[in-house]
Amino acid sequence: MQDLIRQLLVELGEDPAREGLVRTPQRVEKALKFLTSGYDADIDKVLNDALFTVDYNEMVIVKDIDFYSLCEHHLLPFFGKCHVAYIPQRHVIGLSKIPRLVDVFARRLQVQERMTNQIAETIRQKIDPLGVAVVCEGTHLCMSMRGVEKQNSFAVTSAMQGAFRNNTRTRMEFLELIKLRSAVPGLRDSAATRYECVGED
């Protein structure tokens, strides 16, 4: 990989032997391996048997989970917040495991739509809840640094399954709860309307 990075530097018109770039191939390799470490992650080991049987069937929400990923089209970062909710049927997941699950799928070459679905589908498979909902809000540098160069735009994607798809009141309760304190720049009161459109079947 380091040889490829040196060649890339040459193709960009740089001198990989100059002082500031001598160790760049090593640094880039290390960074890329970390940013794509999700490919090697074992979901069962990540969850580490943190599945518990409980008599609880109300909504569980973990919100404002930071994620950082790489767009598979340009290898440029996209980042933002992920909000995850589910309604347990028999089992719950240890709360700290949900952000780790988000990291597993974020640390791959991704598109935000796929990542959102992967998180929801994994929770559905592991605990068979009455419903699961995932909303991701991301800023994409492939839009703000190049192309259309729109620095203030961000993408909102959702995956609604079970009760969150079939019951409008349940879905809207979740969407109202996650808009209370979002740290994504530019999110205003109008976000509720935007979420409602995204969340509809």
Task: Give the pLDDT mean for 97-118.
Answer: 97
Q: Tell me, yes or no, if 82 is annotated catalytic.
A: no
Task: For residue 149, name the pLDDT band (cuts at 50, 70, 90).
Answer: low
Contact 65, 81 (CB under 8 A): yes
Residue type, position 14, single letter: E
Query: Where do the domains of the chain lie, and which CATH numbers do they carry?
Result: 2-35 (no CATH), 44-199 (3.30.1130.10)
Q: Tell me, yes or no, if 83 is annotated catalytic.
A: no
The catalytic residue among 7, 26, 73, 151 is 73
- The pTM of this model reads 0.85
Phi-psi region at 165: left, alpha or beta (left = phi > 0; alpha = psi -120 to 50): alpha
Q: Tell me, yes or no, if 136 is annotated catalytic.
A: no
C-alpha Rg value of the chain to the nearest Å: 19
- Distance CA(192)–CA(175), nearest Å, equals 7
The catalytic residue among 82, 83, 110, 112 is 112
166-197 pLDDT, tens digit each: 999 999 999 999 985 444 444 444 343 344 33
In terms of Cα–Cα distance, which of 79, 82, 58 is closest to 70?
A: 79
The catalytic residue among 83, 110, 140, 161 is 140
CA distances from 166 to 140, 163, 171 (A): 31, 5, 8
For 168, phi then psi, to 5°, come to: -60, -40
Task: For residue 55, name the pLDDT band (cuts at 50, 70, 90).
Answer: confident
The catalytic residue among 14, 74, 89, 173 is 74
Is residue 148 predicted with pLDDT exceeding 90?
A: no
Which letter, b or e, does each residue of 141-153 get, where b requires 16 or more Cβ atoms within 10 Å of its Cβ?
bbbbeeeeeeeee
State the pLDDT at residue 159. 97
For 116, phi then psi, to 5°, come to: -60, -45
